[in-house]
Amino acid sequence: MTEAAVRLADIGGCAAVAPLLSARGLRFSAGGQTLIRDLDLHFSNHGISVVMGPNGAGKSVLLRLLHGVLKADAGEVHYAGRVLDEETRRREQAMVFQRPVLLRRSVEANINYVLKLHGKADAGRCQALLEQVGLAAKLRQPARALSGGEQQRLAFARALAAEPRLLFLDEPTANLDPNASAMLEDLMLGAAADGIKLICVSHDAGQARRLATEVVFIHRGEVLAQQSADAFFDRPADPRIEDYLSGRLVL
């Protein structure tokens, strides 16, 4: 267990459980298909919640609905007890995408862009963030010339530059090799240990075991389970989850 994981386990043991984020009656359709069906979910204010499910289950759509970058057909998302609005999202939340969307600027300029946006432009802060993700030596390089793993770590650092209370991650390691994935997982554990709530979509059961304090399993736009990670892997709430975890076809 890494140091960050130990600190995270400590936080998990003593933190309050008031929901930070709640979805109530969320529904979303696209292309004549209902992708999210009257979904209710509550996320506590600590730890890492991993959203799992088979392809096409609606995981990425759910993440975008929760973050508010996609508008639901029905239902509401509440953040810290209030309906989520744009200003709250800008101030309190950030998102890391599966394919990092980096600005066509230097590594340093990508971080400074967000720092300026939040009125926190500061060379020291930029340097500290880049050191945190191991990119301090590359601050003047064009961001898009970095390797895939480095680009995703830069996207992560840029998200942290906003000092979010809640960080969404949409399969952040899906395109990375095991080494780059491990580095990003350490950063995620570190961020969670620092008190940032993480909600992460992942296909990878191994990754969920390493990271999750709780797992949300969705299938065809419905929640089949929201359990603590230990309970999820020991006693899944639905037989279809057992099928999924053992590699059998989930229909």
Partner 1 sequence: MQDFGSAFTLAFQLVLNADADLIEIILLSLKVSLTAVLLSALIGLPLGALLATARFPGRQFCLLLVNALMGLPPVVVGLMVYLMLSNAGPLGWLRLLYSPAAMIIAQTILITPIIAALTAQVISDYEREYRELFRSMGLGLRQRILTLLFDARYSLMTVSLAGFGRAVAEVGAVMIVGGNIDHLTRVMTTSIALETSKGDLALALALGVVLMSLALLVNALVMTTRLTAKRMAHD
Give contact residues for partner 1 (rule: CB under 8 A): 64, 67, 69, 86-87, 89-90, 93-95, 97, 101, 103-105, 113-114, 117, 142-145, 162
The answer to whether 95 touches 114, Cβ cutoff 8 Å, is no
Cβ-based nearer residue to partner 1, 18 or 117: 117
Task: For the CB of residue 95, give the shortest distance to partner 1 in the complex, in Å.
Answer: 4
Cβ-based nearer residue to partner 1, 100 or 190: 100
The answer to whether 202 touches 52, Cβ cutoff 8 Å, is yes
Cβ-based nearer residue to partner 1, 154 or 193: 154
Unique residue bearing structure tokens 């979904």: 39
Q: Classify the phi-psi angles of 171: left when phi > 0, otherwise alpha if psi is within -120 to 50, otherwise beta.
A: left
Cβ-based nearer residue to partner 1, 46 or 64: 64
Unique residue bearing structure tokens 């890492």: 48
Task: For the CB of residue 150, give the shortest distance to partner 1 in the complex, in Å.
Answer: 12
Residues 6+ apart with CB under 8 A from 99: 175
Cβ-based nearer residue to partner 1, 87 or 234: 87
Task: For the CB of residue 101, give the shortest distance to partner 1 in the complex, in Å.
Answer: 4
Task: For the CB of residue 225, give the shortest distance to partner 1 in the complex, in Å.
Answer: 27
Burial 221-247 (b: 16+ CB within 10 A, else e): bebbbbbebeebbeebbeebbeebbee
Unique residue bearing structure tokens 């006693």: 235
Task: For the CB of residue 143, give the shortest distance to partner 1 in the complex, in Å.
Answer: 8
